[in-house]
């Protein structure tokens, strides 16, 4: 194995190199170059606060304070909250629950171009699912960096995951009602930190 191309260096993992390699690998599969990877920052829109409040309401009811709302053509088509403890499923994050609920009754292709609102910046697992669904926009409240002060996080941003997917452009808007999202951790009884 060539340590320079796998991102691990001389026995030490290099996240930036690994992500770049991953992007080149995906690009070759989908016939694109890594320069075509798209993650666009987008401005807050007038409707964002209302939909984010719905995601925060979902988060307040979850096992951990994470909630998501999927919107298509200005209408809520699915919601989800963290059910990891309830379902004994560590993949039952709010975003995953919302996606699973949607595809239980609808074709997955109908998620293309949708917007996902979430109380916390999607982890790599959730952002990967968002990309594979072809969603066009992600709006989050608290960032990975902010969340890492409340509980353990994989420190890979949604933007880094989106940039490693050269076959899709995803608009990303962060910080919408972040203080309210972070305050939910103080109210949550299952908060893992003292």
Residues that are catalytic: 95
CA 2 to mean position of chain CA atoms: 31
- Residue 80, token pair as written in the block: 């989800």
Residue 109 CB partners (closer than 8 Å, separation 6+):
134
Which residue has 């919302």 as its token pair? Answer: 98
Q: Is 192 exposed, middle or buried (0-12, 13-18, 19+ CB in 10 A)?
A: exposed
Strand partners, 171: 40, 137
Q: Among candidates 169, 140, 153, which has minimal Cα distance to 39?
A: 169
Q: Among candidates 71, 191, 172, 58, which has minimal Cα distance to 121?
A: 172
Distance CA 14, CA 134 (A): 28
Computed from CA positions of residues 94, 96, 100, 103, in that sequence, does the dihedral angle turn out positive or negative? positive
């Amino acid at each position: 194995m060539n340590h320079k191309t796998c991102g691990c260096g001389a026995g030490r993992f290099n996240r930036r190199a690994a992500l770049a390699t991953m992007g080149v690998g995906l690009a070759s599969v989908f016939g694109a170059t890594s320069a075509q990877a798209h993650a666009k920052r987008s401005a807050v829109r007038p409707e964002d606060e209302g939909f984010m409040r719905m995601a925060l309401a979902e988060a307040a009811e979850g096992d951990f304070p994470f909630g998501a709302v999927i919107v298509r053509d200005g209408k809520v088509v699915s919601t989800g909250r963290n059910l990891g403890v309830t379902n004994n499923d560590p993949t039952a994050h709010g975003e995953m629950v919302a996606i699973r609920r949607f595809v239980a009754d609808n074709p997955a292709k109908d998620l293309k171009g949708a917007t996902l609102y979430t109380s916390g910046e999607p982890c790599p697992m959730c952002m990967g699912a968002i990309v594979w669904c072809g969603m066009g926009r992600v709006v989050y409240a608290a960032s990975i960096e902010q969340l890492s002060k409340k509980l353990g996080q994989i420190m890979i941003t949604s933007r880094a995951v989106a940039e490693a997917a050269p076959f899709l452009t995803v608009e990303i808007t962060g910080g919408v009602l972040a203080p309210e999202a972070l305050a939910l951790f103080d109210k949550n009884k299952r908060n893992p930190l003292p």
